[in-house]
Amino acid sequence: MLRSIINRLLGMIVVMAIVVTIVFVIVRVTPGDPAAVMLGPEATAADIAALRTKLGLDGSILEQFGHYVLGVVQGDFGQSIFLNQPVTEALAQRAEPTFFLTIFSLLIATVIALPVGILSAYWRGSIFDQAATTVAMFAASVPSFWLGLLLMQFFAVKLGWFNTSGYGGPGASLSERLNHLVLPALALGLVSSALITRFTRASMLDVLNDDYVRTARSKGMSEWRVVLKHAFKNALIPILTVLGLTAALLISGAVVTETVFGLPGVGNLVVSAVLRRDYPVIQGALLVIAGLYVLVNFGIDMLYLLVDPRVRY
Partner 1 sequence: MKHMTTIAISLAAMLLPATGVAWGQAKGGVIDVATIGEPPTLDPMASTADLVGIVTQHIYETLYTFDKDWGVTPLLAADMPQISADGKTYTIALRTGIKFHDGSDMNSTDVVASLQRWMKVATRGKQTAETVTAIEAVDDNTIKITLNKPFAPLLSLLSLNNAAAIIIPSEVAAQDPLTSFVGTGPYMLKERKPDQFIQLARFDGYKSRDGEANGYGGARKQYLDEIRFVPVPDPNTRIEGAVSGQFAYVDSLPVESFDKISGGKTAPVMLKPFGWPVFFMNTKEGLNSDIKIRKAIQAALAPKDMMLAAFGSEEFFSIDGAMYPQGYKWHSETGTEPYKPEGDTEAATALLKEAGYDGSKPLRILTSRQYEFHYKLAQVAAEYLKAAGFKVQMDVVEWATLTKNRTDPALWDIYITHSPFLPEPSLTGFMSDTAPGWWVSDKKREVLGAFNAESDPAKRIALWPAVQQAVYDEVPAFKVGNFNALAAQAPNLKGVTPAPWPYFWNAYLEAK
Q: Which residue among 3, 29, 73, 160 contacts partner 1 (CB under 8 A)? A: 160
Contact between 166 and partner 1 by CB under 8 A: the answer reads: yes
Contact between 215 and partner 1 by CB under 8 A: the answer reads: no
CA 306 vs. chain centroid, Å, equals 24
Q: Which residue among 7, 126, 130, 153 contacts partner 1 (CB under 8 A)? A: 153
Residue number with CB closer to partner 1 (125 or 160): 160
Q: What is the secondary structure of 110-129 as a DSSP string?
A: HHHHHHHHHHHHHTTTSHHH
Q: Minimal distance in Å, beta carbon 84 to partner 1? A: 7
Question: Which region among 26-34, 64-72, 190-198, 286-294 touches partner 1 (by CB under 8 A)?
Answer: 26-34
- Answer for the pair 114, 235: CB distance below 8 angstroms, yes or no: no
Q: Which residue among 46, 73, 127, 306 contacts partner 1 (CB under 8 A)? A: 46
Contact between 220 and partner 1 by CB under 8 A: the answer reads: no
In angstroms, what CA-CA distances link 4 with 55, 61, 167, 307? 44, 38, 42, 15
Distance CA 279, CA 26 (A): 10
Residue number with CB closer to partner 1 (66 or 166): 166
Q: Which residues contact 13 (CB under 8 A, 6 or more apart)?
A: none
Q: Minimal distance in Å, beta carbon 163 to partner 1? A: 5
- Answer for the pair 166, 262: CB distance below 8 angstroms, yes or no: yes
Contact between 230 and partner 1 by CB under 8 A: the answer reads: no
Minimal CA–CA distance to 185: which of 162, 159, 157? Answer: 162
Contact between 142 and partner 1 by CB under 8 A: the answer reads: no
Question: Which region among 10-18, 86-94, 98-106, 297-305 touches partner 1 (by CB under 8 A)?
Answer: 86-94
Minimal CA–CA distance to 184: which of 77, 117, 289, 265? Answer: 265
Instruction: Tell me the β-bridge partners of 79.
Output: 86
Q: Minimal distance in Å, beta carbon 186 to partner 1? A: 15
Q: Minimal distance in Å, beta carbon 267 to partner 1? A: 11
Q: Which residue among 3, 14, 31, 60 contacts partner 1 (CB under 8 A)? A: 31
Contact between 32 and partner 1 by CB under 8 A: the answer reads: yes
Q: Minimal distance in Å, beta carbon 137 to partner 1? A: 26
Q: Which residues contact 53 (CB under 8 A, 6 or more apart)?
A: none
Contact between 201 and partner 1 by CB under 8 A: the answer reads: no
Contact between 211 and partner 1 by CB under 8 A: the answer reads: no
- Answer for the pair 192, 250: CB distance below 8 angstroms, yes or no: yes
| Share in percent of the chain as helix, strand, coil (round to 5) | 75, 0, 25
In angstroms, what CA-CA distances link 168 with 163, 171, 195, 245, 260? 9, 8, 31, 29, 15
Contact between 36 and partner 1 by CB under 8 A: the answer reads: yes
CA 178 vs. chain centroid, Å, equals 18
Question: Which region among 1-9, 88-96, 286-294, 297-305 touches partner 1 (by CB under 8 A)?
Answer: 88-96
Q: Which residue among 4, 64, 88, 165 contacts partner 1 (CB under 8 A)? A: 165
Contact between 37 and partner 1 by CB under 8 A: the answer reads: yes
Contact between 264 and partner 1 by CB under 8 A: the answer reads: yes
The contact set with partner 1 (CB under 8 A) reads: 30-34, 36-48, 82-84, 90, 93-94, 149, 152-153, 156-157, 160, 163-170, 259-262, 264, 268-269, 271-272, 275-277
